[in-house]
Amino acid sequence: MKKHVLKCVLACLWALIICTLLFSCSKINEYSAGRSTGKSPCICTGPHDVVYLQTNHEKQNAILAYKVYSDGQSVLMDGAPFLTGGMGLPYSYNAGSFNSDKEVRLSNDKRFLLTVNSGNNTISVFKVQSDGALSSVPGSPFPSGGETPVSIEQWQQYIIVLNKSNHPAIPSSMPPNYSIFTLQGDGSLVPVPNGKFEVRDGISPGQILASRTGAFVYGSNTWGFDYTPPAIRMNIFSIGRNGVLTPGPAAPPFDPLKPGALGMCQNAKQNVLYVAFPFAPEFSTYEMNTGTGELTHIGDSYARPGCSRFCSNKSGNSLFTANTMENSVSRFDISNPRAPRKTGDLSLKNVGPMYSGYFGEYTTSQCVSLASSTKDDLLYVVSQHTNPDTTIGNYNYLHILQIENGLQEKDEPVQLPVANKYRPRGLAVLRVE
C-alpha cells in the first residue's frame, strides 16, 4: 500500500514538473530570444538601469524590462515580459499608424509606469517595485478616451494621452484627440471633466510634450502634405489648473520641404524646443515663450535622412536624433542650445537587407525610440523590423551605445523577444541602486 501511494506521489510530481516546463516553453515561444547580450556571462550585481520598452504585440501586449549595467551588459529581468492586459497594433505597411513617440513613460515621481495599448484603446498602469519589477494597478488597463492611443505625457498631477485615430485595420469613428486624466495615488486614471480636446482628421498627431517651464502642451502632426487652409502645423495648448486644454497661439507654418513633424524635445536648461521632421534630413530649433507658449523659429540643423525622434542626456549638453530610414543615430553638442552642432553619426549594427518604400530605400531594421542612461554614459535605442518580408530573419533589437568618448556600439545588439511581424517601441529608464 505504501509503495502504491509513493508511486502516485511521484507520478503527480512528474506531472507537475512537465506542466511547469510546458507553461514556461509557451511563454518563451511567445516572447522568444536570449536574455543577455551574450558577450560573456553577465555578472548581474550592483547598481544598474532598468530599461523598459513595449512589445506592441497584437494580442498580448507587454513591457520588457532589461537590467543594464555600466559596462553595457544586459539581462532580461525575472518576471518579464509584464503583460499589459491590452493589445498592440497588427502588422501593416501603413507607416502612418506607427509614427509616434513616448509610448512608454514613467510618472514624474517614478512610482508608476504607463504605456499605451494602441490596438484596443487603453492605457496600462504598473506599480514600480523597488527592484524595478512591475505589477498592474487595480483597474488597469483604463480607457484612453479615444482611438489608437500613441503617446503619453504628464503635467503636474495630470496624464495627457494622445489618441491618434489611425488603426491600420479598423476605420476610425472619431477624430484624433488629447484626453486628460488625473493620476491618483494608487495609480488609477480618472478622466478630467471636459478634459478632451479634438483635433481635425488627416493630421496624424504623433507626440505630446508638456513644457517644464510653463503651463503649455505641444503636439506634433506627422502628415503635412495638405497645404490648403488651414495648413497643418503643430498644436499649441494652454493647460489650466483643472487640467483642461485650451487652444494657444498658432505655430509657425512648416517649410514645404518639411511637410510633417514628429519627435519633440525641450532643452534641459533653456526654453528651447527641438522638432524633428521625418520626411527631411533635419530638425528645427524654436524659442518657447514662457508667457504665451508661442514658438519662434530660430534655425535648422542637418541630421540624416529620416530624422524622426529625439532624446537629450541628463546634463543637457548633448542631443541625439534617431534617423529612422537608415537606422542611424546622430549626436549634437547643444552647449549653445540655440545653435546645435553635430559631433557625430553612427550607423547601427544589423540593419538587415534594404527594401523599397514610399520615400525610397529603407533598412529592414529602423530605430524608433531612444533614451539616455541615468549616468549619461550609455544610449539605449530600439530598432524594429519594418520590412514586409518576414522570412529574412528578425531585426527587432535593443542597441546599447557607449557615448562617453563619441558614439560607439561595441557589442552586438540585444535580440528582442518579439516576433518580426510586430514593432516594439517606446523607452523609459529607471535607476536601481
**Residue 24 confidence (pLDDT):** 40
CB atoms within 10 A of CB 143: 15
Q: Is the dihedral of CA 139, 141, 144, 147 positive or negative?
A: negative
Q: How far apart are the first and last CA of the chain?
A: 56
Q: Is 85 left (phi over 0), alpha (psi -120 to 50) or beta?
A: left
**Residue 359 confidence (pLDDT):** 75
pTM above 0.85, yes or no: yes
Where is 18: in which H helix or E strand?
helix 2-30
DSSP structure class, residue 140: -
Catalogue the E-assigned strands of 120-203.
122-128, 134-136, 142-143, 149-155, 158-163, 177-183, 189-198
**Residue 44 confidence (pLDDT):** 63
**Residue 224 confidence (pLDDT):** 54
CA distances from 91 to 98, 112, 146, 179, 423 (A): 10, 29, 21, 26, 8
What percent of the chain is helix, strand and coil (3-state, nearest 5)? Answer: 10, 40, 50
**Residue 231 confidence (pLDDT):** 64
Tell me the C-alpha distance between 150 and 113, whole Å: 15
**Residue 228 confidence (pLDDT):** 53
Domains and CATH numbers, the chain: 51-432 (2.130.10.10)
**Residue 400 confidence (pLDDT):** 98
**Residue 379 confidence (pLDDT):** 98
**Residue 4 confidence (pLDDT):** 46
**Residue 383 confidence (pLDDT):** 98
Residues of the chain short of pLDDT 50, as ranges, are 1-30, 32-40, 226
